[in-house]
Chain A
Amino acid sequence: MAVQDLDVAAYCLRLGDDALVLAQRLCEWAARSPQLEEDVALMNLALDLLGQSRSLLTLAGEREGAGRDEDDLAFLRDEPDFVNAQLMELDNGDFGRTMARQLLVSAWSLPLWDALVTSTDPDLAAIAGKAVKEVAYHLDHARSWVVRLGDGTEESHRRMQAGLDEVWPYSFELFESDDLLQRLVERGVAADPAALQPIWLATVSEVVAEATLSLPETDWRPAGGRRGTHTEAFGYLLAELQHLHRSHPGVSW
């Protein structure tokens, strides 16, 4: 039943790593959120992302055909083997910065999954059919916080803008193309990143305007996550994620 397809495996690994790493970051808010309801909300978002990641990493393993399952891929790869966008791994910072990242990511993943619903890979399309409905809620959640904090007090406005300014440069990586993506777009498997950018920018601009914030202007475009280059913060995240599994291989409850 498993069909080997290394390009599809590599693409699923990127999307699976995006979801896994962002889920892990969001979990750092457990018991530290500004409100009890927000604790629950962030853990629900993380749970959705973790579920998406499990499906994607499982599919990546199947298409790779080397016998690796979701646990092997999540727990037994080192930093340079992870191909998530750097935006996902950035430190949470304050709540405003976390919500800025959440807005930029969700405004990208909604049109992404929407496009992948019609992917020519039926298993990827099936995962997309579920994910698109989940991230619609994620985008709505991020939007409401960015507006509330941006259009709030002088202090909340200042911090929301600062958070947006800090994470903004990392959004460019989401729209980069490369040989792998070009091949997969041609086959109708992957979403064309260039086609997602105008949709993303329209959503983000609308929210930013409603929040009385301004779109950051910068030429700095850090990237490299898709090739295994990561920020300093990533190693610490991975250590926490993998510590238990690596210390006690095969451990179960």
Chain B
Amino acid sequence: MVTTVEQVREVLASVHDPEIPVLTIDDLGVLRDVAVDGTHVTVTITPTYSGCPAMDEIRADIVTALAAAGLDDAEVRTELAPAWTTDWMSEDGRRKLREYGIAPPGELLLQIGRRPEISCPQCGSSDTEEMARFASTSCKSMWRCRACREPFDHFKAH
């Protein structure tokens, strides 16, 4: 049987971010490359943040998913450059995040002290305020909506 890149990508579509299970690693932009040489599969991923603790689990999940599909000869490589950015998050990924209750990344914070404008993922209102710059994970900040009074997470632009 010949292994193809398409086949591997299909298997990897079942690998999700352990912290945000609605997103696949492809949606998130963590999956950078798939290469196949005969039966040997090389998957290249890139970390979101330097200290992202989900990377070890993602690496293990990739190997497990490929092995379950009969692709035993797999290697996962980690590459830092080019540095991951929230711009790599797919449109589909942004929609899934919003539906899950997390406001997708807005503009990149370029100036110190400037706050991005974020819409509430529940009611869509832009009357929102940041409660804390850091939340349950490094990649999110904590917000609340003044219109529907719901708190929500925002995936920070990075």
Contacts and interface: CB of A to CB of B under 8 A. Distances in A.
B51 A48 contact: yes
Given A37-B131, A126-B80, A143-B112, A137 B156 contact: yes
A143 B109 CA distance: 14
**Chain B, interface SS category:** loop
A123 B113 CA distance: 31
Interface stretch (A60-68, A128-136, A229-237): A128-136
B83 A133 contact: yes
B47 interface: yes
Interface string B80-96: 11111100000000000
Contacts of B134: 37, 40-41, 44-45, 137, 141
Interface string B100-122: 00000000010011000000000
B67 to A, nearest CB: 22
B18 to A, nearest CB: 15
A139 interface: yes
Nearest to B48: A130
A8 interface: no
Contacts, number: 81
B52 interface: yes
B50 A134 contact: yes
A205 interface: no
B50 A55 contact: yes
Contacts of B135: 40
A31 B125 CA distance: 34
A130 B83 contact: yes
Nearest to B50: A51
A25 B83 CA distance: 27
B146 interface: no
Nearest to A38: B132
A47 B137 CA distance: 10
B138 A130 contact: no
Contact of B112 (A48, A52, A140): A140
Nearest to A140: B112
Interface in B134-151: 134-138, 142
A248 to B, nearest CB: 21
Interface of B: 47, 49-53, 79-85, 109, 112-113, 131-138, 142, 156, 158
Interface of A: 37-38, 40-41, 44-45, 47-52, 54-55, 122-123, 125-127, 129-131, 133-134, 136-137, 139-141, 143-144, 203
9 contacts: A37-B131, A40-B135, A49-B51, A122-B81, A130-B50, A130-B83, A136-B112, A140-B109, A140-B113
